[in-house]
Amino acid sequence: MKAMEPRIGFALLLLAAIFGSPAAPGALGGEPPLLLKPDRVFDGVSDRPHEGWVVLVEGNLIARAGPAAETAAPPEARVIELRGQTLLPGLIDAHTHLFLHPYSETSWDDQVLKEPYAVRVCRAANHARKTLLAGFTTIRDLGTEGAGYGDVGMRQAIEEKIVPGPRLLVVTRAIVATGSYGPKIAPEGNVPLGAEEADLATIPRVVRDQIGRGADWVKVYADAWSPGKGGRPTFSEEELKLLVATARASGYPVAAHAMTREGLRRAAEAGVETIEHGDGGDAEVFRLMAKKGIALCPTLAAAEAMARYGGYTPGAGPEPESLKSKRAAFEAALAAGVTIVCGSDAGVFAHGDQARELELMVDYGQPPAAALRSATSAAAKALHLDARLGSVKPGLLADLIAVEGDPTKDIGALRKVRLVLKSGQIPRE
Ligand SMILES: [Zn+2]
């Protein structure tokens, strides 16, 4: 027993570093208020940051935000000086896969088929911590890719502070048309798939079952891709409408993976709330999305990562066709007035590196402040969380980050995260 004590001490220190204080359990109300004094505040909405603002955090909420001279703080408040830094809402990534790691390390097939469940869970816990420390305080995880309902347990483990991580919205296994998804092996064989199959006859049962097991959103694949054949739509419009109607009847929104023009069109007509990837979209289908208020998660960083795995070096030589079409689709979506929501597809590339998505959004044509809105207020609205988070406003949850420099001028500032608060608690200082 004696030999264990230093380790226990170390564990407590580690917990203190992760959660703020070893006395954290039940101490929320007992913590002194925090007065955050950055150089400026990006409120998640305005184009220009507010120079000289301060933010007061009480418990898990933003209590006050405004010019330093007009924003009183109680005498017991702990002052955190954030010189040279910008304070902004905690970032949101609306498309991640905590249970995947970069395909350059292990192919998707091998992750789904060969990695033990416990290994995948341990990786997911690491990914959650890295994501939070990178300033992403909320994520929507769009499918465990063969790891069952592990995301439901991960959400609980984070809520119960067993592991540090962002606030999680989950979809469990996601839904694909029968025969459309991998891993693909010899036609005689059967292996566990990366998502759950359904058809016209089984869609209501599968949607309700996933909701019953803990899904916050329903994720459907409107199309599929296979080597040699490329992309093709899968579910009919009738099937997608049934899926959306079943989810909506219980108050659940639907996200659709779509990379073909026809997949996008059917998903949009069916009334999904977000479309993921959007590669094959044109002006007409993006106008339809804009008219119906459907947001796009462009997953630019994942496309770039796939190109890198194929030998492309960003900045060196011409862009491959896949990235040219990604750029063209993103520009067409912007021109059509589609709401862009930051959704990176992290997992395809390293968790915690999601700043890359925002860098590419700016590179592909969004002004920095608009890209930041896509990862804060606009993302919160698309995820039905705007009444609780996504901007710097009294009464909202104190999900706040501080970065060195001014990300409304240089989006690369998001790589210099110096402080993270989630619900008023500090995993990074
Ligand atoms: Zn994805």
Q: How far is the CA of 354 from the centre of ligand 1 (A)?
A: 13
Q: How far is CA 186 from CA 82, 182, 183, 189, 354, in A?
A: 58, 11, 10, 6, 36
Q: How far is the CA of 135 from the centre of ligand 1 (A)?
A: 20
Q: How far is the CA of 345 from the centre of ligand 1 (A)?
A: 5
The answer to whether the beta carbons of residues 340 and 373 sit under 8 Å apart is no
Single out the residue of 372, 367, 396, 363 nearest to residue 136, CA to CA: 372
Q: How far is the CA of 142 from the centre of ligand 1 (A)?
A: 6
What pLDDT does residue 1 have? Answer: 39
Q: How far is the CA of 225 from the centre of ligand 1 (A)?
A: 13
Single out the residue of 329, 262, 266, 272 nearest to residue 299, CA to CA: 329
Residues within 5 Å of ion ligand 1, judged at the Cβ atom: 345
Provide CATH 2.30.40.10 ranges for the chain: 34-88+392-428
The answer to whether the beta carbons of residues 196 and 213 sit under 8 Å apart is no
DSSP 195: S
Two structure tokens written together for 300:
């630019």
What pLDDT does residue 333 have? Answer: 98
Q: How far is the CA of 267 from the centre of ligand 1 (A)?
A: 16
The answer to whether the beta carbons of residues 357 and 300 sit under 8 Å apart is yes
Q: How far apart are CA 169 and CA 38, in angstroms?
A: 30
Q: How far is the CA of 84 from the centre of ligand 1 (A)?
A: 36
Q: How far is the CA of 96 from the centre of ligand 1 (A)?
A: 6
| 138: phi then psi, degrees, rounded to nearest 5 | -140, 135
| For helices 203-212 and 237-249, angle between their N-to-C axes, nearest 10 degrees | 40
Q: How far is the CA of 136 from the centre of ligand 1 (A)?
A: 17
Residues 6+ apart with CB under 8 A from 117: 147, 148, 150
Two structure tokens written together for 354:
């999601």
Which segments in the chain show pLDDT lower than 50?
A: 1-28
Q: How far is CA 247 from CA 171, 202, 273, in A?
A: 12, 13, 11
Single out the residue of 424, 347, 417 nearest to residue 91, CA to CA: 417
Provide CATH 3.20.20.140 ranges for the chain: 91-382
Q: How far is the CA of 26 from the centre of ligand 1 (A)?
A: 36
Please give the full DSSP string across 363-408, using - where no structure is assigned.
HTT--HHHHHHHTTHHHHHHTT-TTTSSS--TTSB--EEEEES-TT
- Alpha-helical segments (H) within 115-273: 117-133, 150-159, 203-212, 237-249, 261-270
Q: Which fold has domain 34-88+392-428?
A: Urease, subunit C; domain 1 (2.30.40)
Per-residue burial over 204-216, b = 16 or more CB atoms within 10 Å of its CB, e = otherwise: bebbbebbeeebb
Q: How far is the CA of 32 from the centre of ligand 1 (A)?
A: 40
Q: How far is the CA of 143 from the centre of ligand 1 (A)?
A: 7
Instruction: Provide, for the chain, the percentages of residues in helix, strand and coil under a 3-state DSSP scheme, each rounded to the nearest 5.
Output: 35, 25, 40
Q: How far is the CA of 394 from the centre of ligand 1 (A)?
A: 34
* Angle value at C-alpha 54, between 50 and 60, nearest 5 degrees: 120
Q: How far is the CA of 39 from the centre of ligand 1 (A)?
A: 36
Looking at 3.40.50.2300, 3.20.20.140, 3.90.550.10, 3.30.200.20, the CATH number of the domain 91-382 comes to 3.20.20.140
What pLDDT does residue 429 have? Answer: 67
Q: How far is the CA of 108 from the centre of ligand 1 (A)?
A: 12
Q: How far is the CA of 141 from the centre of ligand 1 (A)?
A: 8
DSSP 3-state of 50? strand
Q: How far is the CA of 339 from the centre of ligand 1 (A)?
A: 19
